[in-house]
Amino acid sequence: MEYLSNKLFKQFTILNFIFLLSINVHSQDLPVIAITEIESSVDSSSWLDYKNSKSQNFQTMLETQLVQTKRFKIIERNRIDEVLSEQILQGEFSNNNTRMNVGGVDYIVYGSITKFGSKTKQIQTSGVSVVKLIAEFGVDLKVVDVLTGEIIKAETIDISLETGSGTSTNSFGISDTLADPLSDIQRTAAKSSAALIAESIFPIKLITWEDELPNCCGYLNYGDAIMTEGDIVRVIKQGTAFVDPDTGLKLGSTEKTISKLQVVEVLPNFSKAKLIEGENPIGGELIRFDLNNATKSNNNSNQRERLGKEL
């Protein structure tokens, strides 16, 4: 009887978590973000056909991934210039006692594609040759606080993806390549970019742990917008906060990895992960991606209230 009660309680907790996740995020003051044009400073001689499309494609994918996190309000691309122009004008003609009422933005995301190309790896022995084609894609992104004009986050995302392979001998050969390697590597980069932006405001957390099955399962508060089946993540226990003694800058807090999880199922609003190393978590812990296993000025602060949660 006690076992049945515990089972029902855990099932109720999980269902309640899923329900709250689907409605509570919308009740918060979500940050309003505008993604301006992503420039491209490089072109690959191997993919000249994509010269005029790759930066626009990446921008569209980044917008899609951020929307799917359900943590942001994204300004439509065709309204960005209009909104920012009105916001700038009101900033010029308002003073500290005037609050701007324009439906503006809190943060602007912009950047540039800085790496784009491919390389070949070949292993050749007596009578056998193995070739792998590796695509590389890099982007530098910056997040600007509209109220202060400060760059508050700058990140570089570098992605490598095996896009094809082939094996040949003296008598036969076989090869396999992705149908659209550019799209695949851009999607991976957009997912990583969205994760970096989203995590800085709404960290990944382990909501609850269900231990009815061996080593399974933990429920994470992000779904397929930034998580992928097979991802390895670390469960973090935070300790004492510390600051830079010279500048007074808050650097963070001590961290201890208590276990590692592998994502086994990804849904639109949440993910499930199993224990692969360490002790069973209890829920509520901070989650970070395991990188070793990875595939301000106040001059204008009174002119307008921030529309969403601060970065």
What is the rounded distance in angstroms from the CA atom of residue 43 to the CA atom of residue 160? 16
Q: Do residues 86 and 177 both lie within one domain?
A: yes
Domain shared by 106 and 240, yes or no: no
Same domain flag for 198 and 209: no
110 three-class SS: strand
- How far apart CA 102 and CA 108 sit, in angstroms, is 16
Residue 246 pLDDT > 70: yes
Amino acid occupying residue 210 = E
210 and 164, same structural domain? no
What CATH number did the domain enclosing 74 receive?
Answer: 3.40.50.10610
| 304 occurs within a structural domain | no
Of residues 293 and 227, more confidently modeled: 227
Mean pLDDT of 144-152: 82
**Rounded distance, CA 154 to CA 196, Å?**
10
Q: Give yes or no: residues 125 and 242 share one domain.
A: no
Q: Is 163 inside a domain boundary?
A: yes
- pLDDT computed for residue 123 by the predictor: 84
CA 245 to chain centre: 32
pLDDT at site 28: 55
* 93 vs 300: which has the higher pLDDT: 93
For 7-64, write each residue's pLDDT tens digit: 444 454 444 544 444 444 454 578 888 888 888 877 555 544 454 457 888 899 999 9
3-class DSSP state of 273: strand
pLDDT exceeds cutoff 90 at 267: yes
User: Could you tell me if 182 and 216 lie in one domain?
Assistant: no
Query: Is 178 among the domain residues?
Result: yes
Statement to judge: residues 44 and 101 lie in one domain: yes
What does the alpha-carbon distance between residue 280 and residue 271 come to, in Å, rounded to a whole number? 17
State which of 153, 180, 202 marks the end of a domain. Answer: 202
> Quick one: 237 and 130 in the same domain?
no
Are 47 and 115 found together in one domain? Answer: yes
pTM: 0.71
Q: What is the share, in percent, of the chain residues with pLDDT greater than 70? A: 74
What value does the mean pLDDT of the chain take? 77
| Whole-number pLDDT of residue 242 | 84
Domain for residue 5, yes or no?
Answer: no
Same domain for 75 and 195? yes
Note whether 61 and 186 are within 8 A (CB). Answer: yes
* pLDDT, position 23: 42
Q: Output 272 or 295, whichever has higher pLDDT.
A: 272
CB under 8 Å to 59, separation ≥6 — which residues?
Answer: 35, 37, 38
pLDDT digits (tens, 9 = 90+) for 160-213: 888 888 888 777 778 777 777 888 889 999 999 998 888 878 889 999 998 777
Band (pLDDT 50/70/90 cuts) for residue 140 is very high
> Pairing state of beta strands 107-125 and 73-74?
unpaired
- The CATH number assigned to the domain holding 252 equals 2.40.10
What is the reported pLDDT for 157? Answer: 92
Q: Look at residue 2 in the predicted model and tell me its pLDDT.
A: 47
Distance CA 275, CA 252 (A): 26
Q: Is residue 125 part of a domain?
A: yes
Look at the chain and report how many structural domains it folds into: 2
Mean pLDDT of 275-283: 91
For residue 252, what are the domain limits? Answer: 204-295
- Single residue among 150, 172, 202 that ends a domain in this structure: 202
Q: List, in order, residues 6 or more apart from 190 with CB less than 8 Å away.
A: 58, 61, 62, 64, 65
* Final residue of a structural domain among 147, 168, 202: 202
Band of pLDDT at residue 86, cut at 50, 70 and 90: low
Same domain, 175 and 37: yes
Within-domain flag for 303: no
Q: What is the per-residue pLDDT for 88?
A: 62
Max avg pLDDT among 4-8, 33-37, 303-307: 33-37
Q: What is the pLDDT of residue 311?
A: 58
State residue 156's pLDDT score: 92
Is residue 23 one of the residues assigned to a domain?
A: no
Does 253 have pLDDT greater than 50?
Answer: yes
Same domain, 54 and 192: yes
- Does residue 22 lie in a domain region? no
User: Confidence class of residue 93 from pLDDT cuts 50, 70 and 90?
Assistant: very low
